[in-house]
Amino acid sequence: IPIERLAQQVKGMSLDALAEKYPNCHPAVNPFDLYRAHLSNVLADVTGVDPKIIYPSLQWTTSLDKGDMVLATPALRVKGQKPDELAKQWVEKFPGNDPLFEKPTVVSYFMAFVFRTTPLIQAVIPMIQHYGPEYGRNKCLGLKDPKDPSKGKKRMIVEFSSPNIAKPFHAGHLRSTIIGGFLANLYDGAGWDVKRINYLGDWGKQYGLLALAYEKYGDEEALTNDPINHLFQLYVRINSEMSAEKEQIEKRKQDGEDVTALEADSLDEQARRYFRSMTDRDPAALARWKRFRDLSITRYQATYARLNIHFDEYSGESQVPEAAMAKVSQEMEAKGICKEDKGAQIVDFSELVPGKEGKRLEKPIVRKRDGTALYLTRDISELLGRHEKYEFDHMIYVVASAQDLHLKQLFKIIELLGHKEIAAKCQHINFGLVLGMSTRKGTVKFLDDILRDVADKMHETMKKNETKYSQVENPSATADTLGISSVMVQDMSGKRINNYTFNMDAMTSFEGDTGPYLQYAHARVFSIRRKANLTDEDLATADLSLLTEPHAINIVRLIAQWPDTVQNTLRTLEPTTVLTYLFKMTHALSSSYDQLQVVGSERELMKARMALYDAAHTVLGNGMRLLGLSPVER
Ligand code: ARG
C-alpha cells in the first residue's frame, strides 16, 4: 500500500492502529484519513483535548489558498478562553518539525493546516497508480462486519427511472434515471451489494384501453419496429376517441335521451372489462399485455445502455400479486389502519397519527369501491415483497418531489403495520422539476428524442472545427456521448431539490462548467499521454521530487481529496458534490498546461509531469464514471 510510505515518515504510526483508533478512518484508501488521524494525534498533545473529539472537528477548506484542513477552535469546547486566543496559543505550540504538516496559521479563531508537499506527492501519485480505477472507492464501507469480510456485504435496493408504458418518458423519469444510476454506482463503489430495480407503471384500466386500441388499429410491424412510439400513438388516439365519446354521451344525456345502452358499450366500459380480464388472468389478455411490456422493456434497455445503466429487475405495478394485496388489506383492516368510506377503503391518518403530521398525511384511498387496488396499495405490497425477497439493509426510492406525500404515506403505513424497522430502512430521494423541456421534432418528450436532438446539436458544433473533426474516429458516436454528457451534467449541476430550466444552448456549450467542457478536459489531459509516448514503467519510476511548481503541487493536493470527496458524497447523496470537485480539477489542470509542459521538457521532468497528469486523468475518469458518464479520449 503506497500510503504506507507516508505513514513510515511518522515515528510509531501504523495504518491499522489509526483505523482502529478512529471511527470510519480508512487511511489505506483515503489519504485525508491519514492526515486527519495524524493531526488529531498531534493536536491532542498540543491542546490536551481527547483526539476522538478532534478527529471529526477537522474540516475541509473551500479552496486551496485557505489550506488543506481547518479547525474551528470552538469545536473542541475548551471553556474559559477566547477561541482566537486558543487558536494563537495552539499554533505556537504546534511542532515546527512535524513530518506531514507545515506549521499552521491563525485566521481569527481558525487554525489552518497545509500538508507538507514532498511526502504528499511521494505518497499520492503512487497510490493512484496502484489503485487506478479503484482509487476513490472504499469497499469495506458496505461490509456487514468491517472486521470480517466473510460475513458478506450489506444489500442496497435502488429503485429508479420507473417510467409508464405507452406514456412519454418525461423529465421526472429522466432525472430519476440520472440520479438513481449515480446513487447505485456510489453505493457499489462503497462495497454494498446493490440491486437496481425499475418499477414500471404498467397496470391499470388505461392498459385495458391500450389493448383495445391495438385490437382496432394495431400494426404488427410498427409494434415490433418501434413499440414505444406505436403504443404511445395508439394510446393518444384511443384516448381522444374516448373523450369525444364521453362528450357525446353527456350531450345526449342532457337532451334527455336514455344513454344506458351507450354507456354499457362505451370505450370506457370496454376498457374496464378488458382490464378486468387482465386482473382475472385471462391468458389471451395477459399474453397480449405481456408482449407490449416486453417489447417496451427491450427498447428501454437499449436507451439505458446508452446511459451506462442496467437494471437487475424490471418490476412494476403489474407484478404485485393480487393475493399479497388482499392479505395486506385484511391486515390493515384488522389493525384499524383503514376504514370504510362511501364503499371505498381509506386511511384516515388524522386518526392514526397525532398532531399536525396526521393532518399532513391526508386521507388516501387504498381500495376503490369496485374493489380495485391503487398505486399506494401496490407500493405497500411491493415494499414488503421486496423486503422478503431481498432482505435489504437499505432501500432508496428515486422519485420526483411531487410524490413526497405518497412516499410519506407509504412509509407510515408500513410503520403502522408493525414494521418500524423496515420503514426505517427506506428512504425517498427526491428532486425538483425540469422546466422548459421540449424537442425540436415535436412536443412529445421521449428520452430517445431528447438524446437525439442533443447529439445532433453536438455534432453540428463538432463540425465547426474541421481539422479536429477529422481526427475523431467515430464522430456520430462521440456526438452521442457528448450529447448525453450535456444532459446529465446540466441535470447534476445544482442540488437535486432545485428546479432547473432545460437549456439546450447552455448545456451543449464547450464554455462554462458543462458536460462537453468536462469531456474536453478529460480528452485533453489524455492527449498529453498520447503525445509523450511514455510507458507505465516510465511513469512508475519517475522522480516525483521534480514536481516543485505551485501548479503541480495544487493538482496533487486536489487529487488527494478525491476519496474524501466520495466519502462526503455518501453523506450528501448529491451528484453536485462530485461535479463541483471535478470542475475544480479541470480548472486547476487547464491553468497548469502552460506552466508544466510535458512534451519538449527534459526527459526526467517529462516523466514526472506525465505521472502527475496521468494521475489526474485517472481521477477525472473515475469521477466521471461514478456520475455515469463515459469519458471520451478524443
Ligand atoms: N411510475 C411512476 C410515475 O411515473 C413512478 C413510480 C415511483 N415508484 C414507486 N414505487 N411508486 O409517476
Question: How confident is the model over 573-603, as pLDDT tens digits?
Answer: 999 999 999 999 999 999 999 999 999 999 9
* Statement to judge: residues 14 and 161 lie in one domain: no
Split at pLDDT 50, 70, 90, the class of 442 is: very low
Mapping DSSP to helix (H, G, I), strand (E, B) and coil, where does residue 397 land?
strand
Find all residues with CB under 8 Å of 193, minimum gap 6, and list them: 142, 152, 153, 154, 155, 156
For residue 11 the three cell numbers come to: 515515528
> In CATH, what number is assigned to the domain containing residue 81?
3.30.1360.70
For residue 181, being part of any structural domain is answered with yes
**Mean per-residue pLDDT, 176-181:** 98
Which residues constitute the domain of residue 333? 156-203+281-432
Instruction: Look up cell 424497522; give the residue.
Output: 421
pLDDT tens string 537-547: 999 999 999 99
Q: Of the residues 432, 450, 465, which one is the last residue of a structural domain?
A: 432
For residue 383, being part of any structural domain is answered with yes
For residue 196 the three cell numbers come to: 437496481
pLDDT tens string 226-263: 998 899 999 999 999 999 999 999 999 999 999 999 99
* Statement to judge: residues 516 and 607 lie in one domain: yes
Q: Alpha-carbon torsion 395, 400, 303, 275, what sign?
A: positive
CB of 189 closer than 6 angstroms to any ligand 1 atom: no
Instruction: Look up cell 481521477; give the residue.
Output: 619
**Mean per-residue pLDDT, 12-21:** 88
* Statement to judge: residues 177 and 297 lie in one domain: yes
Q: Measure the CA–CA gap between 321 and 627, rounded to whole angstroms.
A: 35
Q: Measure the CA–CA gap between 420 and 572, rounded to whole angstroms.
A: 24
pLDDT score of 318 more than 70: yes
For residue 104, being part of any structural domain is answered with yes
DSSP H/E element including 197: strand 193-200
Q: Measure the CA–CA gap between 612 and 498, rounded to whole angstroms.
A: 36
For residue 275, being part of any structural domain is answered with no
CA dihedral 317, 323, 327, 330 (to 10 degrees): 90
> In CATH, what number is assigned to the domain containing residue 546?
1.10.730.10
Q: How many residues does the chain have?
A: 634
* Statement to judge: residues 286 and 176 lie in one domain: yes
**Mean per-residue pLDDT, 157-170:** 92
For residue 329, being part of any structural domain is answered with yes
Split at pLDDT 50, 70, 90, the class of 7 is: confident
**Mean per-residue pLDDT, 112-139:** 96
pLDDT confidence of residue 108 = 95
CB of 122 closer than 6 angstroms to any ligand 1 atom: no
Looking at the chain, the whole-number percentage of residues with pLDDT higher than 70 is 99
* Statement to judge: residues 45 and 160 lie in one domain: no
Q: Of the residues 91, 115, 139, which one is the last residue of a structural domain?
A: 115
* Statement to judge: residues 169 and 97 lie in one domain: no
For residue 231, being part of any structural domain is answered with no
pLDDT score of 11 more than 90: no
Q: Measure the CA–CA gap between 230 and 237, rounded to whole angstroms.
A: 11
* Statement to judge: residues 526 and 626 lie in one domain: yes
Contact present, 508 and 453 (Cβ < 8 Å): no
pLDDT score of 441 more than 70: no
Please tell me the total count of domains within the chain. Answer: 3
CA of 161 to the centre of ligand 1 (A): 8
pLDDT confidence of residue 448 = 84
* Statement to judge: residues 103 and 171 lie in one domain: no
* Statement to judge: residues 84 and 190 lie in one domain: no
Mapping DSSP to helix (H, G, I), strand (E, B) and coil, where does residue 477 land?
helix
**Mean per-residue pLDDT, 286-308:** 94
Find all residues with CB under 8 Å of 388, minimum gap 6, and list them: none
Contact present, 236 and 350 (Cβ < 8 Å): no
* Statement to judge: residues 82 and 196 lie in one domain: no
Q: Is 551 annotated in the active site? A: no
For residue 433 the three cell numbers come to: 422539476
Looking at the chain, the whole-number percentage of residues with pLDDT higher than 90 is 90
Q: Is 195 annotated in the active site? A: no
pLDDT confidence of residue 305 = 94
**Mean per-residue pLDDT, 7-33:** 90
Residue owning the nearest CA to atom 4 of ligand 1: 163
Q: Measure the CA–CA gap between 580 and 571, rounded to whole angstroms.
A: 15
> In CATH, what number is assigned to the domain containing residue 367?
3.40.50.620
pLDDT score of 466 more than 60: yes
* Statement to judge: residues 73 and 182 lie in one domain: no
Q: Measure the CA–CA gap between 311 and 294, rounded to whole angstroms.
A: 14
For residue 380, being part of any structural domain is answered with yes
For residue 449, being part of any structural domain is answered with no
Helices (runs of H) and strands (runs of E) counted in the chain: 28, 14
Q: Of the residues 115, 143, 165, which one is the last residue of a structural domain?
A: 115
pLDDT confidence of residue 443 = 56
* Statement to judge: residues 311 and 377 lie in one domain: yes
Atom index in ligand 1 nearest the CA of residue 383 equals 10
Average pLDDT, the chain: 95
pLDDT confidence of residue 8 = 85
For residue 26 the three cell numbers come to: 480508512
For residue 69 the three cell numbers come to: 484542513
pLDDT score of 166 more than 90: no
pLDDT score of 2 more than 90: no
